[in-house]
Amino acid sequence: MSDAAKLDLGTQTVELPIIEGSEGEKAIDISALRSQTGFITIDPGYGNTGSCTSGITFLNGEVGILKYRGVPIEVLAERSNFLEVSYLLAHGGLPKKAELEHFSNGIKKHSHIPSEILDMVKCFPKTAHPMGVMSAITSALSGFNDQLLTSNVTDEQKEESMSILLGQLPVIAAAFYRHSQSKEFIPPREDLDYVSNFLNMLFGDDGYVVDPEVARALDILLILHGDHEQNCSASTVRMVGSSKANIFATISAGIDALWGPLHGGANQAVLEMLAAIQEDGGDYKKFLAKAKDKEDPFKLMGFGHRVYKNFDPRAKIIKSACDTILNKLGVKDPILDIAKGLEEQALVDKYFVDRKLYPNVDFYSGIIYKALGIPVNMFTVMFILGRIPGWFSQWKELIEDPKMRICRPRQIYTGNTTLNYSDIGER
């Protein structure tokens, strides 16, 4: 393969370097295109555009491969835990025992939220969507961490930022959940592991004991949501972080991007869709027809993916975890049967087969969250908690790049070329 692409514009021909990644991905580097030719490229939705090189996550959508720092997601889901995976994503390697202990202790140390933050959480209407609360309060954390608002962040400040995010966001999420249920706040406990502590902050009323099977299922779900290269919210984090906005503003922006039903909000939308199918008598074929109808804006939530044109490897793991955890909990949820029927039908339907539409990470995750007792409007918050290490790692990689520039795409203007101004009385 040539190391440069030749672009013939008629009046001139330019050579553009070809770069190849460590997994064999290839790109044409167009960073000098405009200065050499006056042309830009255009790619609405960025389906063919790489925004960066990155060493954090590799995925191959054609084959269905996902690796964090080179470790296959299947291995991490089987053998690792969420805090170890968070360390791996942020630091690029697996921690030694002492390193993981230090990392975990830093998170515990930073998991106590200021009383003013708890007061802010309680100011929200109980019916507020928790994603709005998480975005607002994450940004508000900037008001309590002046020491981290410098535009040139030190390594110690990066570590402290990650500890605060991993320590405090679950507390804020659980605090709002308790508020929305008119229940007392349950503070974090340092004697519990990360996931058990979160479950206890959610459900820890008298007599509650964390079920280790439930905690492990949740730990696996958090691992599976850890990072996913340059998805919509990670790209938002890079966009905002490139202006040297502080980490709290940057992560808050990622939360807002994740909220959308085409992205992380899909896990809530899947449950709402399955419930609607159940409500409608369980006839999922009717909903498949709606999804295929071009006149109908309805999409089959939890299906399709910009990158995966094969099974999302995370969906496979979650689906098998679904069966295991529901059997262990003795939960017989008819919604799971509807989901399985819908999936079976879609996987053989020409419309979905032709477009390579497979179940994605959001298709089954909500069913497990529901079985674990987490309310539907908290599903996307669970996605936040899993994605914190991914967003942080993408931000860290961005600001550590000595060639970092502010993200500022161009456009092709298609509006009026001239419009004469007239006084309002003459219009």
Q: Which residue is nearest to ligand SDX (CB)?
A: 304
Q: Is 119 a catalytic residue?
A: no
Residues with Cβ within 8 Å of residue 131, at least 6 apart in sequence = 255, 256, 258, 259, 265, 380, 381, 384
Burial of 316 (0-12, 13-18, 19+ CB in 10 A): middle
Q: How far is the CB of 113 from ligand SDX (least distance, A)?
A: 27
Give CA angle at 227 (132, 214), nearest 5°.
75
Which of these segments, 7-15, 122-130, 258-266, 402-410, binds ligand SDX (CB under 6 A)? Answer: 258-266
Is 17 in contact with 36 (CB distance < 8 Å)? Answer: no
Residues 397/389, Cβ–Cβ less than 8 Å? no
Closer by beta carbon to ligand SDX, 126 or else 306: 306
Considering the complex, what minimum distance in angstroms separates the CB of residue 227 from ligand SDX?
8
| Catalytic site residue from 110, 305, 312, 349 | 305
Cα Rg of the chain (Å, integer): 23
Interface residues for ligand SDX in 27-56 (CB under 6 A)?
A: 45
Which residues within the stretch 275-334 sit at the binding site for ligand SDX (CB under 6 A)? 291, 299-307
Is 236 one of the binding residues for ligand SDX (CB under 6 A)?
A: no
Task: State the minimum distance, in angstroms, from the CB of residue 230 to ligand SDX.
Answer: 8
Q: Name the residue nearer to ligand SDX (CB basis): 71 or 329.
A: 71
Please report whether residue 253 would count as binding ligand SDX according to CB under 6 A.
Answer: no
Which member of 40, 63, 209, 262 binds ligand SDX (CB under 6 A)? 262
Residue 258 CB, shortest distance to ligand SDX, in Å, is: 8
Number of residues that bind ligand SDX (CB under 6 A): 22
CB of 20 to ligand SDX, least distance (A): 22
216 touching ligand SDX, by CB under 6 A: no
Strand partners, 71: 68
Q: How many CB atoms lie within 10 A of CB 240?
A: 22
Residue window 168-207: x/- pattern of binding to ligand SDX, with contact defined by CB under 6 A? ----------------------------------------
CB 173, CB 130: distance < 8 Å: yes
At residue 4, the 3 state secondary structure works out as strand
Task: Give the residue, chosen from 355, 373, 400, 409, that forms a contact with ligand SDX under the rule CB under 6 A.
Answer: 355
Give the burial class of 182: count Cβ atoms within 10 A of its Cβ; 0-12 exposed, 13-18 middle, 19 or more buried.
exposed
Task: Quote the CA–CA distance of 379 and 377 in Å, as a whole number.
Answer: 6
Alpha-carbon gap, residue 238 to 233, rounded angstroms = 9
Which CB atom, from 120 or from 266, has the smaller least distance to ligand SDX? 266
Residue number, 148 or 315, with CB nearest to ligand SDX: 315
Instruction: Give min distance, CB of 339 to ligand SDX, in A.
Output: 13
Closer to ligand SDX by CB, 66 or 336: give it.
66
Query: Closest Cα to residue 77, out of 222, 194, 192?
Result: 222
**Does the active-site annotation cover 110?**
no
| H-type alpha helices, 246-333 | 247-259, 266-279, 284-292, 313-329
Contact call for residue 271 and ligand SDX (CB under 6 A)? no
Comparing CB distances to ligand SDX, the nearer of 44 and 425 is 44
Q: What is the 3-state secondary structure (H, E, C) of 58-97?
A: EEECCCCEEEECCEEHHHHHHHCCHHHHHHHHHHCCCCCH
- CA-CA distance, 335 to 274, in Å (whole number)? 6
Beta-carbon-side half-sphere exposure of residue 42 (alpha carbons within 13 Å)? 6
Options 91, 112, 263, 309; binder of ligand SDX; rule CB under 6 A:
263
Q: How far is the CB of 292 from ligand SDX (least distance, A)?
A: 7
CB of 314 to ligand SDX, least distance (A): 7
Of 83, 256, 80, 91, the residue nearest 167 (C-alpha): 83
Interface with ligand SDX, residue 357, by CB under 6 A: yes
Q: Which is nearer to ligand SDX, 158 or 228 (CB)?
A: 228
Q: Between 204 and 241, name the residue whose CB sits nearer to ligand SDX.
A: 241
What are the residue numbers of the active site?
305, 362
Binding interface with ligand SDX (CB under 6 A): 45, 228, 231, 262-264, 266, 291, 299-307, 355, 357, 360-362
